Amino acid sequence: MSRIIVTGAAGFIGSHTTDRLLAEGHDVLSIDNLRTGHRHNLEEALKSPKCRLQIADVAEEGVLDGLVKEFQPDAIIHLAALVSVQESIDDPDLNLRLNYIATQRVTTAMEANGVSRVVFASSAAIYGDTTDLPISEDAPKMPISPYGEAKWNSEEWLHARAAQSGFVVRCHRYFNVFGPRQDPASPYSGVISIFDRCYLDGKPVTIFGDGQQTRDFISVHDVARANVIAAMRPDIKSGSANVCTGNATSLLDIVNVFASYYPQVAAPSFAEGREGDIIHSLGCPDRVREQLGFVAEVPVADGLGELIRAG
């Protein structure tokens, strides 16, 4: 049994990661400032005596240090972030604080307290608009948003500190994660969460472009599993890897699954493609398989079915 701190634990990926840690019998200190996370995401988790929620801002100096000193975790899974790319463009200073300075707070707290392992939520956004598919980890890092820039800078910071201090760091470059608890609040939220909300409300979805654009959609359950593997297995060394499926799914494929569950909802409408939208994105899953022994297991249609049945 291990003791794990999860930052951003009340968020989409954080809450599923917390659930998985608890299912495996670990003690979890969940930290979240509830800026975009929700307490109700941890409703089940908080029924466990092995889970505690601390409402705190990890970007604030000294906050994490105190919590780490008190809890003495074996590993930190650092998922707290400003998650909206659009918001990072609108408020670059806040992005810098939440997506980069917070990473520095994590390493400071680790070094002061001898924590030996950290898992970091990076993103496919670090690659920018590359058209060389599938995207391997060695592809050029050319982020096109403050969000992608801060994720890439955080990776570099973490690896530099790890080399100095001797802790193990795993950076997970998530592709398009989907599943229950993803917030559909903004037009820039993940497309599957937006479509799910529309179908649930009986409203037709809007497809930007012709719907033939593809993404590497990965279930949040697979992502949570990858996080836990990276945090728990002592034989796994430092590195950065894509967390993806290696499968391309088009928006039309996604809509077809929704339509099969909601035959009464009107057909999608089509609007002009979004400015700056990429047509295809696909990750190469080889490295994460080699380094973590991780292979995504949830087919997109199954993950969508679960989401739709959850209502």
Q: Which positions lie near ligand UD2, rule CB under 6 A?
A: 85, 125, 145, 176, 188-191, 194, 206-208, 213, 215, 251, 274, 277-278, 281
Q: Which residue is nearest to ligand UD2 (CB)?
A: 85
**CB of residue 74 to ligand UD2, shortest distance in Å:** 30
Minimum CB distance to ligand UD2, residue 242 (Å):
14
Cβ–Cβ < 8 Å for 28, 8:
no
Give the residue with the Cβ less far from ligand UD2, 33 or 176: 176
* Shortest separation between residue 185's beta carbon and ligand UD2, angstroms: 12
63/251 with CB nearer ligand UD2: 251
**H or E element: which one contains 132?**
none
- Which residue do the tokens 């654009």 mark? 213
Nearer to ligand UD2, 180 or 190 (CB): 190
Nearest of 47, 102, 37 to residue 28 by alpha carbon: 47
Q: 173 has which bridge partners?
A: 122, 242
Whether 100 is a known active-site residue: answer no
Which of 100, 127, 147, 174 is catalytic? The answer is 147
Sign of the C-alpha dihedral computed for residues 59, 60, 64 and 67 taken in this order: negative
Q: Which is nearer to ligand UD2, 69 or 274 (CB)?
A: 274
What is the rounded CA–CA span in Å between residue 44 and residue 177?
A: 21
At residue 287's C-alpha, the angle toward residues 78 and 105, to 5°, is 20
Q: 223, 107, 120, 232: which is closest to 176 by C-alpha?
A: 223
For ligand UD2, the closer of residues 51 and 177 by Cβ is: 177
Nearest distance, CB of residue 232 and ligand UD2, angstroms: 27
Instruction: Please state the closest distance from residue 190 (CB atom) to ligand UD2, in A.
Output: 4
| DSSP 8-state code for residue 236 | P
Concatenated DSSP letters of 14-83:
HHHHHHHHHHTT-EEEEEE--SS--GGGGTTGGGSTTEEEEE--TTSTTHHHHHHHHH--SEEEE-----
Q: Which residues are catalytic?
A: 147
